[in-house]
Amino acid sequence: MVAVPTIPAPVVERRFWWLLAAGVVVLAAGLAGAWVMEHEGHIATGMNNEIVWGTPHVFAIFLIVAASGVLNVASVGTVFGRTEYKPYARLSGLLCVALLAGGLMVLMLDLGRPERVIVAATHYNFTSVFAWNVFLYTGMFAFTALYLWMMMERRMNRYAKPAGIAAFVWRFVLTTGTGTIFAFLVARQAYASAVLPPLFITMSLAWGTAVFMLVEAGFARWRGAPRAPEFQRRIARLLGIFVALALYLVAVYHLTNLYFAKQTAFERFILLDGGVYPWLFWAGYVLVGSVVPLALVWRAGVTERGALAAAALVTVGAFALLYVFIIGGQAFPLDIFPGYEVTSSFRDGQIAAYAPSLPEVLLGFGGVAAAFVIALVGVQVLDFMPDEGR
């Protein structure tokens, strides 16, 4: 550990209240955006009959996928026995719960009738992937809470590894389920690919690691907690491996699509002449979100500042990729009658237009704020930081 100046308890307390106030303000703005969408209808958003999953879904999917990946830090320590990761396992579990809660909040409030979640929770259609996810999400909460209990209660520490293995397996099942939502959506040319479940798993590892690095560094600065340079170098290299794997599988996904003649028009739209979508893909995801972070973390003598910059850029690239994947995938017209050109007053066969509205963006950031508030309060109330509770 590297020694840092001790911060007096009153200063830590004061910082906590300022951070909590900022998080609550953003959360309130997100709830206000949801209220506008609820009372004015989705006409207040940029969504339409062609694009039914908008910017809130970009935030929700990011938070849910990152929630699975952020638990990887705990898994490496508990399941694989790497002792240098074990002090960070509690914070890793807390962030998993916080990110999943924030993502589900956005998802529920974006549905237009959030009160009907009761129907989804009590009436199941097991031929639908969405019904499966009711169990996957609740299972993730349960397994992670059990895992945290085993780690934080000294009498139960001997059960931490079995609980960690269960959470480790379940988070892969959860992320597979999230990828399967799209993989089973055969009506859209952007989806319906067997590559998507493993792609979502690798993306979760990269994005979750990036989020953990940023949050841990921020909380350590807030509380004046010591940092471990060797751990920072290890997790930065691990981030580089995950980012490279995700980039590889994204390339496989697009190359697979290019192999099929029926997908050529879609790939040309996404990669070349689709307006904002190729720019976001090549500049936002490939360059800013992958190539630059890899250069930062794989260079000799990577610094803490460079590692955190790489983590921030990976997060930016994640949002760029999800925007292209979710919204760009819906913007491309449905191929309802293969081999025929379809035109009608319903804009069949035309590229759908979409621009995010303020309520959508506020709701998305509200989910991030909800995750932040949960993690902040958890760290303040219980022993989640590496230097505490040991």
Convert the pLDDT of each residue in 369-389 to its tens digit. Answer: 999 999 999 999 988 888 644
What are the φ/ψ torsions at residue 227 (nearest 5 degrees)? -110, 150
pLDDT for residue 5: 52
For 69-124, the pLDDT digits (tens) are 999 999 998 888 888 888 899 999 999 999 999 999 999 898 767 777 777 777 77
CA distance linking residue 115 with residue 126, whole number of Å? 21
pLDDT for residue 265: 87
CB 73 within 8 A of CB 167: no
Which of these, 110, 104, 26, lies nearest to 66 by C-alpha position?
A: 104
Question: In the structure, what pLDDT confidence band is assigned to residue 307 with cuts at 50, 70 and 90?
Answer: very high
pLDDT for residue 357: 94
**pLDDT higher than threshold 70 for residue 348:** no
* pTM of the entire predicted model: 0.93
Question: In the structure, what pLDDT confidence band is assigned to residue 301 with cuts at 50, 70 and 90?
Answer: confident
**pLDDT higher than threshold 60 for residue 267:** yes
**pLDDT higher than threshold 50 for residue 311:** yes
Query: Between vectors from CA 182 to CA 180 and to CA 183, what angle results, nearest 5°?
Result: 60
Task: Output 334 or 254, whichever has higher pLDDT.
Answer: 254
Task: Output 360 or 184, whichever has higher pLDDT.
Answer: 360
Mean pLDDT of 175-200: 89
Q: What SS3 state is found at 211?
A: helix
Range among 192-196, 206-210, 347-351 with highest mean pLDDT value: 206-210
For 2-43, the pLDDT digits (tens) are 545 567 777 888 999 999 999 999 999 999 999 999 888 888
CA distance linking residue 334 with residue 190, whole number of Å? 10
Structure tokens at 274: 């689709």
Which of these, 80, 363, 172, lies nearest to 180 by C-alpha position?
A: 172
Structure tokens at 108: 């529920």
The Cβ of residue 213 has, within 10 Å, a number of other Cβ atoms equal to: 25
Mean pLDDT of 283-292: 96
Mean pLDDT of 300-310: 87
Coarse DSSP helix, strand, coil percentages of the chain, rounded to the nearest 5 percent = 75, 0, 25
Mean pLDDT of 356-377: 96
Least confident window among 72-76, 147-151, 257-261: 257-261
Q: What SS3 state is found at 4?
A: coil
Q: List residues bridging with 227 in a β-sheet.
A: 2
Q: What SS3 state is found at 2?
A: strand
**pLDDT higher than threshold 80 for residue 362:** yes
Structure tokens at 70: 């952020």
Which domains does the chain show, CATH number per domain?
A: 14-381 (1.20.1630.10)
pLDDT for residue 389: 40
**pLDDT higher than threshold 50 for residue 390:** no
**pLDDT higher than threshold 90 for residue 204:** yes
pLDDT for residue 347: 66
Look-up: residue for tokens 């309130």?
28
Rounded to the nearest integer, the mean pLDDT of the chain is 89
